[in-house]
Each structure stands twice: as C-alpha cells, then as structure tokens.
C-alpha cells in the first residue's frame, strides 16, 4: 500500500548512551560517530545523545580549560561534517562558549553538514550533588545569533522548532524536565510534537522509577512524543554513578526503555506516531484553548530516511490488555463502573426493580451479572431482579438452557414468556408471509421482546437494563426501537472482544464452579441473534460473524477509526500487521469496507441511544464522545 511509512505520520528516532569518558572529546566523538552509523543503518531520522556528550558531564572545572574547549570544537566539527551524508539528524550536548564570556550547557542540532541551531539549558541545578551554576550560565530567555568561523552561523535559543522529516522537534535539557516551569510545556504549545531531552541524571535507589513516571506523564500532559537519553556509566566519577537510562514515551505510554548500567553502551530505537498525536491535540479542547507562548523560530533540520518497516507492536485486540495482572485490575474496575452507574440510576428513581431480557447469550449474561452487582451495592435482594426469557420462532435450545441455568444458579426467578404466537399475530396483522424471513420477520421479534420488557417494567415499577454492546452499536447490529432501547444500557461502551474477556474473568474469579461452568458454556456458544429458524433446535441458522464479519476485526477498526482518527488506508496497513497470521488481504479489505459502510449508515441509531456508563476511551454516546451526521457517506477505500 505504501513504501514509506512516513506518510502515515511515523518517525523513527534513536537514543544512545555510548561509553564516554570525561574530558576526552577526541575519544568521545569516535563513539558518537559509531552511534550515528548505527542510527543510519536503522533508518532513524533522529539520533539523541546525552547531555554534554562531547566532553562528558563530569568534567567540573575542566569546563573552563581552553584546551578542553578547543578539543570540543574540533570534535564537534567532525561530528557536524559526518552529518553531511544526510538522512539522520543528530542532537548532541556540549559546552558552548560565546563571545561575551558566557559558557552555556547546550544541545546542538546537526544535519546536512551544518549546525542548525543550539538550545541552552534553562534551569541549572545547584543543590545536592549538582553544581551546574559553578560553570554554566542559565539559558532561560537567551536569544543569541552565534557567528563562528569554524562552526558556522546558528541561533542559540530555547524558542526553536526544528523541522525533521515532518516532525516539529524541540529540546529541553535534563533539569528542565524536573523544573516547576519546564520549557517543554511551552514547546508543546508552540507546536512541538516531539521533545528531546539530552540528560545526565545519576542513579539512586528508585530514581529510575521516578524518572520513568516523569517522562511518561510529561508526554501525556503535553500530548507529545518524548525521547530521553541520559549519561552512561563511563561518565561516573567520584560519588556519582550514571546508568545510561534511555526512555521513549508517547501520550502517556512508554514505548521503550534501554538497558541501564551497560559498560558497552546502549541504544533505544522507537517509532513515534505523530499523526496520532496531532489527532489527540485537535480533539482535546483544553490543549487547544491553552495560551500560546511567544512565536518560535522554525529551522529546517534534516529530511530523514525512507521508512519501510515499523518497530511498533500492533495489538490485534486493542481494547484488551495483554498483561494478565493489568487485565484483572481493569476487569474489576470496568465491572465496578457498570454496577455503580446502574446503582446510581436506580437511586434516582427510588427503589425500582430491574428488568432484563436474558437470552443466554454473551451480552445479556454480562448485563445480568452487572445487575446482580448493582443490587448487592444497594443491599437489595436478588428478588428485585426480574429476568425474562422470551423464546421465539428461532430460539435455540442451548441458549434457552443457559438462561434457565444462569437464573437458577444466581437465585433469580426467571419469567418465561414465549413470543411465537404474538409475533405470528403481528405478522398476520401486517399481512406478512411468516415463511419470508426478512428484516420485517426479524425485527418483529426484537420489538415484541422490547415491548414486553418495558411493559413489565411499568407493571413492577422497574427499569429495563439494556444489554447491547459497543461493537453492535458501531455496526448498527440492533433493531431500531427494539433491543436498541432500554432504560439504562450497562454494556453501551463495552466492545465484544472485551466482553468475552470480562465474562471469562468473572467465571474464574467471582463465582463458584457451577456458575463458572455455565459462563464457560455461554462463551462457547456461537454468537447469533437467533431471529431466523434453523432446521432443528440445535441448528443455528444465523452466525453473526458470518453476516457482518469477525468482531475482533470490527473492534480493531473501531478503535483506530474513532480513538485515533486514522484514515482507512492506515487502518488497513495496521490490520495487516496485527492479523497477518489470521486473515489475508482480501478478507481485511472486505470487512474494513463493510465496517465503514455500516458505521456511517447506522449513525441514526446511535443518535438516539439510551444512557449507559462510559468505561473506556472509546464511546459512541451522542451526549458526549461521538457526534456525527446521520447522513454522512463512508470514506472511500
């Protein structure tokens, strides 16, 4: 579909912590040149090196030495010349002396055989083990035009955006990140989507955890990519040990982390998704409304290299955490949100009973369990849950058996109301041939069931608990004013893939062996609306995923289309990576096209949804997260 993934907004960057020695620019530049070669081989558009990497951070009073300063200039000139080959932009730390006698701790941006610009460290620590102000001048507010016969002309200032292969890159140096007024916040508001931090942060017990959290949450607050490279063990001197901590984060998620304490140096290679970041910023009104800083200067700083592969893992089930411990915590929280939302709705109307249609399928089973949890929260008896099963012309024996077993195991009375006769009468009134199993035949059953549930709720002073899930709402796989409607839908923002995991978690952690066996059988039952009769009670004529496509694909498409705002072409490429071992290209094309068609054509159903608890970052509620015209055509794909 494309030979260069940069068109999807990807940018590859490398952070490196080479083995460097304090006071040895000539030796250090050899290590930096090798890191540059590795970055080029990896097709990285950017190489980030640590703070004061050319000299080493631990030079102390040697920073004032004219010999060290000249050796640094010579080493820097070599590194600048090496970037003339193009492709990879280098960010390197070095002491920078200017004509008026000031010495700055600076990060220099090198590309295409020149120094594109330099950024001074704004906040100089002078506490604990750090004495930066002994040698360097604060860079906050500095705006200088440097003219150097050996190094060329460039700007020394914090307010610069470096344009690198489509990315807007800005720099802050070590302590700047830890400061109460970090320059990186202004960088992000000025348009920087990627912030680089050359650092020299020594290692202490638990400091790495703090540093990791700081980088991760900074990327979330600024809605940016953040790349961090700290000095390695070779710069350890006297009381301080450096570990070479390398970190990459994107909008609150750690993308990668390098090996610390390596005596041979370490690298970290990551791909940032700049398109995703732009989408997040556009949809975040708080970010959009924040006051912008004074204008920044934009500087061209390298074209990058063609990117034909990707380092990013693409999860096939983005709604479901891969880690078992994380999922267990997530499952408990989701169920608590669902039950609390329902309990609060009950309190708003007094002491209503709950009325639920229990089909024996996946969705209604989870909603049934949530209803039990809500009653338990309110110290209410299970007698206040009225479960109703309504077998119709196509109801299978397996699901009916499951519904009965669920109610019995939970101590809930199950009301059975067959609807075949009522549907037959209704179809006769419409002069509809009962042997024609079309949409009228199917929807008559769904609406008959909904009518019964609401009328029972009226009779018993109850609320109808909805069961339809997020995946069905995305596809419009529900009957308008049938199962589409409820008093409160507890499953409204739970996708089908997550629902299966939740039910399995519930079976393993919340119930006894007998009920667990029933839940496992529900999970093993083919997904079907059971609206068209089969040849026998055991035959299922309708398999939902054969009709609308695999739910795991639709949940994947939904996540990337709504959560990330990705274009169909990018979604298709992502799906090809995530499902390479399960679906061929033509299958992915078919179901992505079907998803887009259904998602756009079925918005009218979502426009009139009943309320339900939001449990994740993707919701289709018309009152909050998702609003679109009912008439919009699907994008061409």
Q: What is the pLDDT of residues 243-267, one digit of tens each?
A: 999 999 999 999 999 999 999 999 9
Tokens of 617: 């970052």
- pLDDT, greater one: 385 or 324: 385
pLDDT at 566 exceeding the cut of 90: yes
Q: Report the pLDDT value the prediction gives residue 542, as an integer from 0 to 100.
A: 64
**What is the per-residue pLDDT across 24-82, written as a single tens digit (0 to 9) for each?**
999 999 999 999 999 999 999 999 999 999 999 999 999 999 999 999 999 999 999 99
- Tokens found for residue 447: 């609406």
Both 72 and 213 in one domain: the answer is yes
Q: Is 473:620 a contact under the CB 8 Å cutoff?
A: yes
Residue 591 domain flag: no
Q: Where among 247, 265, 300 does a domain terminate?
A: 300
Residue 406 shares a structural domain with residue 460: yes
**Same domain (yes/no): 60, 92:** yes
Catalytic residues: 51, 121, 174
What's the CA angle centered on 411, arms 408 and 412, to 5 degrees?
A: 80
One domain for residues 388 and 253: no
The per-residue pLDDT for 630 is: 96
Tell me, yes or no, whether 289 and 371 share the same domain. no
Task: Copy the structure tokens of residue 35.
Answer: 């890191």
Please give the angle made by the CA atoms of 310, 315 and 320, to the nearest 5 degrees: 160
The confidence score (pLDDT) of residue 526 equals 81
Please give the structure tokens belonging to residue 14.
């490398």
Residue with tokens 């795991």: 552
* Tokens 């179809």 belong to residue: 427
| Domain membership of residue 449 as a residue range | 324-545
- Dihedral of CA 76/78/83/88: which sign? negative
Structure tokens at 398: 């397996």
* Section 583-600 average pLDDT: 97
Same domain, 275 and 160: yes
Per-residue pLDDT of 280-325, as tens digits, reads 999 999 999 999 999 999 999 999 999 999 999 999 999 999 888 8
Across the range 137-142, mean pLDDT stands at 95
Do residues 386 and 506 share a domain? yes
Q: Which pLDDT value is given to residue 430?
A: 95
**Average pLDDT of the chain to the nearest whole number:** 95
Is residue 540 scored above 60 in pLDDT? Answer: no
Whether residue 43 is found in the same domain as residue 163: yes
Strands 10-17 and 46-48: what pairing? parallel
Residues 333 and 267 both lie in one domain:
no
Q: Can you tell me the distance from the alpha carbon of 247 to that of 614, in angstroms, rounded to the nearest whole number?
A: 32
We report the CATH number of the domain holding residue 382 as 3.40.50.620
In this structure, are 138 and 234 located in the same domain? yes
- Is residue 446 domain-shared with residue 486, that is, in the same domain? yes
pLDDT above 90 covers a percentage of the chain that reads 91
- Provide the pLDDT for residue 1: 42
Can you give the CATH number for the domain in which 282 is found? Answer: 3.60.110.10
Is the pTM above the cut of 0.85?
A: yes
User: What is the pLDDT confidence band of residue 525, given thresholds at 50, 70 and 90?
Assistant: confident
| Average pLDDT for 455-482 | 96
> Which two three-digit tokens encode residue 407?
């109610």
Structure confidence by residue, pLDDT tens digits, 163-196: 999 999 999 999 999 999 999 999 999 999 999 9
């Amino acid at each position: 579909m494309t030979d260069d993934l940069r068109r999807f907004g990807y940018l590859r960057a490398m952070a490196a912590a080479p083995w460097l020695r304090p006071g040895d620019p000539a030796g250090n530049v050899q290590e930096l040149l090798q890191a540059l070669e590795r970055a080029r081989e990896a097709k990285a558009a950017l190489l980030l090196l640590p703070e004061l990497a050319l000299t080493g951070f631990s030079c102390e009073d040697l920073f004032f030495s004219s010999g060290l300063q000249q050796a640094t200039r010579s080493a820097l000139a070599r590194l600048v010349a090496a970037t003339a080959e193009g492709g990879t932009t280098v960010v390197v730390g070095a002491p920078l002396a200017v004509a008026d006698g000031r010495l700055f701790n600076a990060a220099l941006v090198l590309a295409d055989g020149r120094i594109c610009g330099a950024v001074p460290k704004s906040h100089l620590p002078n506490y604990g083990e750090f004495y930066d102000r002994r040698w360097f001048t604060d860079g906050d507010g500095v705006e200088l035009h440097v003219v150097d016969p050996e190094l060329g002309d460039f700007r020394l200032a914090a307010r610069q955006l470096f344009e690198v292969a489509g990315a807007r890159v800005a720099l802050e140096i070590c302590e700047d990140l830890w400061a109460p007024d970090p320059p990186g916040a202004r960088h992000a508001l000025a348009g920087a989507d990627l912030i680089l931090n050359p650092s020299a942060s020594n290692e202490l017990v638990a400091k790495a955890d703090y540093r990791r959290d700081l980088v991760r949450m900074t990327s979330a607050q600024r809605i940016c990519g953040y790349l961090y490279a700290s000095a390695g063990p070779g710069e350890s001197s006297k009381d301080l040990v450096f570990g070479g901590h390398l970190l990459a984060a994107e909008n609150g998620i750690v993308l990668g982390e390098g090996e610390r304490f390596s005596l041979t140096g370490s690298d970290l290679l990551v791909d940032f998704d700049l398109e995703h970041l732009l989408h997040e910023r556009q949809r975040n009104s708080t970010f959009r409304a924040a006051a912008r800083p004074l204008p920044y200067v934009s500087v061209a700083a390298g074209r990058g290299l063609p990117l034909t592969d990707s380092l990013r893992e693409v999860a096939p089930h983005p709604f479901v955490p891969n880690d078992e411990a994380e999922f267990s915590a997530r499952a408990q929280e989701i169920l608590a949100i669902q039950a609390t939302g329902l309990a609060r709705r009950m309190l708003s109307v007094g002491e209503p009973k709950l009325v639920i249609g229990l089909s024996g399928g996946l969705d209604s089973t989870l909603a049934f369990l949530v209803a039990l949890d809500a009653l338990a929260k309110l110290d209410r008896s299970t007698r206040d849950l009225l479960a109703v099963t309504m077998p119709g012309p196509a109801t299978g024996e397996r699901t009916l058996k499951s519904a009965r077993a669920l109610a019995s195991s939970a101590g809930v009375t199950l009301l059975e109301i067959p609807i075949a006769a009522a549907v037959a009468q209704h179809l006769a009134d419409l002069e509809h041939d009962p042997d024609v199993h079309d949409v009228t035949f199917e929807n008559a059953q769904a609406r008959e069931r909904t009518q019964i549930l609401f009328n029972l709720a009226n009779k018993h002073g109850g609320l109808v608990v909805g069961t339809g899930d997020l995946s069905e709402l995305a596809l419009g796989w529900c009957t308008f004013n049938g199962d589409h409607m409820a008093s409160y839908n507890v499953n409204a923002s739970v996708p089908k893939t997550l629902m299966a995991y939740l039910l399995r978690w519930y079976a393993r952690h919340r119930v006894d062996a007998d009920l667990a066996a029933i839940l496992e059988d529900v999970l093993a039952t083919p997904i079907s609306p059971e609206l068209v009769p089969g040849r026998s009670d055991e035959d299922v004529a309708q398999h939902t995923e054969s009709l609308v496509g695999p739910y795991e694909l639709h949940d994947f498409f939904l996540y990337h289309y709504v959560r990330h705002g990705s274009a169909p072409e990018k979604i298709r490429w992502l799906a090809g990576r995530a499902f390479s071992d399960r679906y061929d290209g033509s299958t992915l094309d078919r179901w992505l096209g079907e998803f887009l068609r259904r998602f756009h054509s079925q918005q009218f159903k979502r426009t009139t949804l009943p309320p339900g608890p939001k449990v994740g970052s993707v919701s289709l509620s018309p009152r909050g997260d998702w609003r679109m015209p009912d008439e919009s055509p699907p994008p061409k794909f």
